[in-house]
Amino acid sequence: MKINIEYKEESGGFGTIGILQALARYLNCDIQNDRIYIPEKYGQGYFQRFRFSPGLEMLISNCKFKHDLTIKKAKTADVKSGDTIVLALQNVLQKGGTISAEPGAAGVLAIGLSTGIQIPENTDFGIILIIIEALYLRKLVDEKFENSVLENIIDTKQTIILDRRMSASIARIADEIAVAEIPEIFQHFYYKVKAEELICHLFIKLTSRQKSPLDSLNISDVEAIYKVRAILLKHLSNPPTVTQLAKMANMSESKLKRLFKQIFGTSVFNYYQSFRMKEAARMLKQRKFTVKEVANKLGFINLSHFSKIFAAYNGEKPKKYSMN
C-alpha cells in the first residue's frame, strides 16, 4: 500500500501550512500549535511547522510510517515556482530520535518542490524542510558576491536536486534542530537562527561548484537517476555497466553521467565504489566474515587489489581495520 498526499499553498503561509493541513486531513488528526502527531494506525512521530517571517518557513519531522508515503505539491496554474526555494534535507538517519552525524548519513538538498517528500515504509525518517522566498535569500547574501550556482538556484523555474552526504557542520545543526528542548518563549528565535545557519552552511557547500553548471530536472529524470542508484546499491558485487544503466534510465550515457554527478557530486563508478567500501567496512566490523570472504561477496577476485582499494577509502588495510 502506498499513501499519496497532495497539498496546496494555503493562506497564512506559502508551503508548510499546506503540507501540515493536507497531512492532518488524510491522517484524521488535529493541528495543535502548528504540530501534528501521527496516529498509531499510520505509524509514529510528528511534523512541526515554524513560520519565522513572510519569507521564511521550516517544517521538521521525525517519523516512521507503516506504508510508503509521498507528499507532493498539487499542480496549479497560479503558482510561480521561481518565487520560492525549497531546501529539503531528507533521508537523514536517526538514532534514538536524533539525526545521526555519522559519515554514512545522507542529506538531499532539493531546490524546488516538484519531487515532493518520499518516506519509505517502516523506516525511521528525519526531514528538515526550509521554504524561503528568493528575495529573502538575496537579502541574506552579500549583493557584491557573485556565484553562478547561487544565481542558478535563485533564478531557476524548475527543480534542481543535489544529493550530498552531510558535512559535520550540517549534521550538527540538523541534530540541534531535531533534539533541542527550548522554552516556548524562545523557540521562534532559536529555530529561526538555526534555519538561517543551516541555509548558510548548505550554500557554503554549493559555492564550491562555481564552475559546475546545474541542469534543471524534471520528475522523470530525478526518478530515473534514483532508480539507477538503487540498482547500483542492490548489486554491489556485480553492477550493471553504464550502458545498461543508461538503457534502464531511458537516457543517453552522457546525460546519465552528467545528471548523476550533479545530484550525487561524483561519478557513477566513484559513487558505487564508495558504497562498496562502506559495505566492506560494515561487514568487517561485524567480524562474521574473513577479509577474503568479504572481498568475494563484494565481487573482488584479487585479494590484494581489494586490500589496496579498501585502504584508500578507509585509511587502513582491511585486516587491521577489522581488529580495531
The stretch 106-129 carries a mean pLDDT of: 67
**Please, which pLDDT band fits residue 10 given cuts at 50, 70 and 90?**
low
C-alpha cell recorded at residue 95: 538514532
Say which residue, 251 or 213, is predicted with more confidence.
251
CA distance 244 to 264: 19
Burial (Cβ within 10 Å: 0-12, 13-18, ≥19) of residue 172? middle
pLDDT value at 59 more than 70: yes
The residue ranges of every structural domain in the chain are 2-209, 219-323
Range of lowest pLDDT (174-188, 209-223, 261-275) = 209-223
The stretch 85-93 carries a mean pLDDT of: 66
**Please, which pLDDT band fits residue 116 given cuts at 50, 70 and 90?**
low
Say which residue, 308 or 207, is predicted with more confidence.
308
pLDDT value at 83 more than 70: no
Q: Is the pTM of this model over 0.85?
A: no
pLDDT digits (tens, 9 = 90+) for 303-321: 999 999 999 999 999 999 9
For the chain, what is the total number of helices (H) and then of strands (E)? 12, 12
CATH placement of domain 219-323: 1.10.10.60
C-alpha cell recorded at residue 156: 531557476
Count the Cβ atoms, other than its own, within 10 Å of residue 157: 10
**Please, which pLDDT band fits residue 69 given cuts at 50, 70 and 90?**
confident
